[in-house]
Amino acid sequence: MSLIKGTVVMVLACAALLAGSPVQAGDMSCQMGFQLSGWSIFYKTYSGSGMVHCSNGQSMHVQLRAKGGGLTFGKSRIDDGHGRFSGIHDIHEVLGHYATAEAEAGTEDSAAKAQVMTKGNVSLALTGKGSGWNLGVAFGAFIIEP
């Protein structure tokens, strides 16, 4: 009888360890809600904050920055932004510098954004609606920090 109890305890302990271990590749998805605002006159600078939630239950508050340059002019604010990460094995992989390239044109009430960016094997697709105006082409970095 004690052998059965010992086996049950060992199976339950293994199940608890597996439940807390990182999710295997392809099984983890992470999403981010965010706010972002800024301006551009040749040089582009935006900042904001967000919250990342992953399918394994992990979550993290993040600070956002976008910087770059090009032929760009504008000022805008995104209040209801959404991001979807792919290629994630651990929530901390969302942090870092993502390469960006964008062309945009919008007026006061039509500031909408859709953009895909990469950082190695990790990709991030952003969408959002807000207010402001913008016109131009820019290259730069989108930075996610803890």
* CA distance from start to end of the chain: 51
Q: Is the dihedral of CA 50, 51, 55, 56 positive or negative?
A: positive
Q: In terms of C-beta density within 10 A (0-12 exposed, 13-18 middle, 19 or more buried), how is residue 143 classed?
A: middle
pTM of the model: 0.75
* Per-residue model confidence as pLDDT tens digits over 15-34: 333 333 333 445 699 999 99
59-86 and 112-119 as β-strands: parallel, antiparallel, unpaired?
A: unpaired
* Per-residue model confidence as pLDDT tens digits over 59-70: 999 999 999 888
